[in-house]
Chains A and B, each alone.
Chain A
Amino acid sequence: DTEVTQTPKHLVMGMTNKKSLKCEQHMGHRAMYWYKQKAKKPPELMFVYSYEKLSINESVPSRFSPECPNSSLLNLHLHALQPEDSALYLCASSQEVQETQYFGPGTRLLVL
């Protein structure tokens, strides 16, 4: 089973809203990732969690706040986003960092 699930599939939010994206995997993977993908561009790494600890933060604005409540869950809290933050947000997991990453279906976010 190589399934990573993400909710919601679609999200529309205003610039003053607070929302959260959720990601879950039950493969026993110890590394989890958030990526942002704009249209016609490759995914860009945002955050890496390894053993539930944030190991990489690729200079992401503070309006994006990751959280890893346990080894199976990864959240991305959103607050005061800008229209340019509209994108596909992908979650991935791997056995360890450097191992093959398996991606979820993504959340399509639109910020109005």
Chain B
Amino acid sequence: AQKVTQAQTEISVVEKEDVTLDCVYETRDTTYYLFWYKQPPSGELVFLIRRNSFDEQNEISGRYSWNFQKSTSSFNFTITASQVVDSAVYFCALSEADNYGQNFVFGPGTRLSVLP
């Protein structure tokens, strides 16, 4: 069965610090998809990024960057120069291609607090 682990339950940083959120996954499939979502206090899950298992290129989008390493089954997320608006719960998620959507599994989430 697939599994997503986010070892950091809560992280607090001071504004302008860099912070990395860890995500480790388990799957037997060779084709799968990894996601990051942000959930601010309002409750809506906001899509941040999707990667497929064949694309290990790291990605940067503004202050956000993602490091995908199949060798360690990790898909870590870094926020550079954090801001108070980054405060939210961040979920890593995994979807296996062969299970027709039934195995879209979220990790437990990491609550990030960015203090002014």
Given contacts A42-B91, A42-B109, A98-B95, contact A105 B44 (CB under 8 A): yes
Could you say which residues of chain B place their CB within 8 Å of the CB of A102? 47
**What 0/1 readout, one digit per residue, does chain B (12-56) give for beta carbons within 8 Å of chain A?**
000000000000000000000101010000111111001000000
Are A97 and B100 closer than 8 Å at their CB atoms?
yes
Whole-angstrom CA separation of A31 from B102 in the bound complex? 12
A28 near B: Cβ within 8 Å?
Answer: no
Could you say which residues of chain A place their CB within 8 Å of the CB of B109? 41-42
Are B106 and A98 closer than 8 Å at their CB atoms?
no
Q: What's the minimum C-beta distance from A95 to chain B, rounded to whole angstroms?
A: 11
Q: What's the minimum C-beta distance from A29 to chain B, rounded to whole angstroms?
A: 12
Are A105 and B43 closer than 8 Å at their CB atoms?
yes
A103 near B: Cβ within 8 Å?
Answer: yes
Could you say which residues of chain B place their CB within 8 Å of the CB of A55? 100-102
Whole-angstrom CA separation of A56 from B95 in the bound complex? 14
Q: What's the minimum C-beta distance from B75 to chain A, rounded to whole angstroms?
A: 15
Are A105 and B42 closer than 8 Å at their CB atoms?
yes
Q: Which of A43-51, A60-68, A73-81 contacts B (4 or more CB under 8 A)?
A: A43-51
**Residue of A58, A94, A101 ringed by the most chain B CB atoms within 10 A:** A101
Q: What's the minimum C-beta distance from A102 to chain B, rounded to whole angstroms?
A: 6
A90 near B: Cβ within 8 Å?
Answer: yes
**What 0/1 readout, one digit per residue, does chain B (76-108) give for beta carbons within 8 Å of chain A?**
000000000000000100010100111010111
CB closest chain-A residue, reference B4: A42
Whole-angstrom CA separation of A48 from B35 in the bound complex? 18
Are B107 and A45 closer than 8 Å at their CB atoms?
no
Given contacts A41-B108, A88-B43, 16 further A-B contacts (CB under 8 A): A31-B101, A33-B101, A42-B91, A42-B107, A43-B91, A48-B101, A50-B101, A55-B100, A56-B100, A56-B102, A97-B100, A97-B101, A102-B47, A103-B44, A103-B45, A106-B43
Binding site for A on B (CB under 8 A): 33, 35, 37, 42-47, 50, 91, 95, 97, 100-102, 104, 106-109
Binding site for B on A (CB under 8 A): 2, 31, 33, 41-43, 45, 48, 50, 55-56, 58, 88, 90, 92, 94, 97-98, 100-106, 108
